Amino acid sequence: MSAGKIRLYVEHPLGEGQTLGLSRDQAHYLFGVMRRKLGEVVTLFNGRDGAWAAEVVEAGKRGGVLAVQAQTAPQRDPPDLWLCFAPIKKARTDFIVEKATEMGAARIQPVQTAFTNAERIRRDRLQAHAVEAAEQCGGTFVPPVADLTSLDALLRDWPADRRLMFCDEALASDDAQQAGPGVSAPSCSEGAAGAPWAILIGPEGGFSDAERARLRAMPQAETVQLGPRILRADTAAVAALALWQQRLGDWR
């Protein structure tokens, strides 16, 4: 069976012969915005069971019912890669979450650093952006968006086996010589491609000297230079994800 062009994330288990009730928001999207009708097919996914074709068997303004028919794609999970980033302005933080989902991050971790401007986030809103991005990009996985945590707390509990791609903006600045040598990509040493990884992107003001020293001292950390120019935080996140995916991830 061919998959429907409209894709919808659901939290229910998926299997042949199931029927699923739609929430009011889902019904509005399918029937009010996308104009789906009785008998038409949409694609469902839940982040665990792959993608499934489902027929509209009831349609209304406040709800509806879908009948699950057949699996159209297997579950495909991304590499074990976290994106850790300092939140910035609302629209640009939304952009980072959307692109991280599209580019294959397995977890999205907002981080409060010394120079982070945003003091809080709406985790539920960012998670909704991740869901929308997965619906639009054809993925079957939705990365969880974690609550905002301090960089100190994140590093204090850092897993011993998770490598860290530390994107240091100082390597592209006038202080690059003082900051020390950098590399343009994470090294592909034995086992690196299959190991758990994380990418760390700093705030618009960069990392503090103390943060930079602590990160450079971590045995799991690998300092990376994202080219000869200082990038905006949202641009740096996309560049770092592309660099890692091409070298160590599922783009190879």
Low-confidence ranges of the chain (pLDDT < 50): 176-183, 190
- The letter for the amino acid at 227 is G
* CB-based contact 89:55 (threshold 8 Å): no
- Paired tokens of 46: 């839940």
- Residues 77 and 79: their CA atoms lie apart, in Å, by 7
H-run or E-run covering 82? strand 81-85
Determine the pLDDT at residue 176.
47
pLDDT of residue 191: 59
Which CATH superfamily, name and number, covers 81-248? SPOUT methyltransferase, trefoil knot domain (3.40.1280.10)
pTM above 0.75, yes or no: yes
Token pair for 75: 């579950």
Q: What is the three-class DSSP state of 41?
A: strand
146-183: pLDDT as tens digits: 999 999 999 999 999 999 999 998 887 655 444 444 44
Q: How many whole angstroms separate alpha carbon 207 and alpha carbon 170?
A: 8
Structure tokens at 63: 């709800």
d(CA 235, CA 228): 14
Domain 7-73 has CATH 1.20.140.10: no
Q: Could you give the CA distance from residue 14 to residue 106 in angstroms, rounded to a whole number?
A: 21
Q: Identify the three-state secondary structure at position 126.
A: helix
Task: Indicate the domain borders of the chain.
Answer: 7-73, 81-248
- What pLDDT score was predicted for residue 192? 75
**Would the CA dihedral through 224, 226, 228, 230 be positive or negative?**
negative
Residue 224's nearest CA partner among 212, 210, 209, 208 is 212
